[in-house]
């Protein structure tokens, strides 16, 4: 199995449980890895033989900058479902990590994140 990665894409959204998160919004980072077979694309050098990075980026942007969710778990699930549906037969599995770099939690930490793995096949 081969993998395509889109690492640390950055967006601005309004997800969260606290009122200030849904009013002020905040930054989100997303990393997506896709389990695919890209051997044919490597031989043909044709975009039609692989998964469009632009298309995957657009899915992430649409979800994160779109409808607000309370939980980043729901954001990750929605992204995974949309990717697996849009690229059925091409993407066998996907891993989605959603990061809140600046959540409104007192204390010292780098960030909070969730990571999910969905699909028929993933290593």
Q: What's residue 104's pLDDT? A: 83
Contact between 72 and 100 under an 8 Å Cβ cutoff? The reply is yes
Q: What's residue 108's pLDDT? A: 84
Helix H segments across the chain?
Answer: 19-24, 39-44, 53-64, 72-86
Q: What's residue 100's pLDDT? A: 95
In the three-class reduction of DSSP (H, G, I as helix; E, B as strand; rest coil), residue 93 is classed as: strand
Q: What's residue 3's pLDDT? A: 97
Question: What pTM value is reported for the model?
Answer: 0.93
Q: What's residue 2's pLDDT? A: 95
Q: What's residue 37's pLDDT? A: 95
Contact between 99 and 113 under an 8 Å Cβ cutoff? The reply is yes
Task: Give the residues of the chain that fall short of pLDDT 50.
Answer: 123
Residues with a known catalytic role: 100
Q: What's residue 106's pLDDT? A: 85
CATH class label, 2-119: alpha beta
Residue 99 CA to chain centroid, in angstroms?
A: 10
């Amino acid at each position: 199995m081969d993998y395509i990665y889109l690492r640390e894409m950055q967006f601005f959204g309004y997800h969260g449980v606290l009122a200030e998160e849904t009013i002020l919004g905040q930054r989100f980072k997303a990393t997506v890895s896709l389990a695919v077979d890209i051997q044919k694309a490597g031989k043909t050098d044709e975009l039609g033989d692989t998964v469009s990075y632009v298309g995957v980026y657009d899915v992430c942007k649409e979800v994160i900058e779109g409808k607000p969710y309370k939980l980043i778990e729901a954001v990750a699930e929605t992204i995974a479902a949309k990717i697996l549906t849009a690229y059925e037969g091409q993407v066998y599995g996907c891993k989605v990590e959603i990061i809140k770099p600046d959540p409104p939690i007192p204390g010292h930490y780098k960030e909070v994140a969730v990571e999910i793995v969905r699909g028929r096949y993933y290593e």
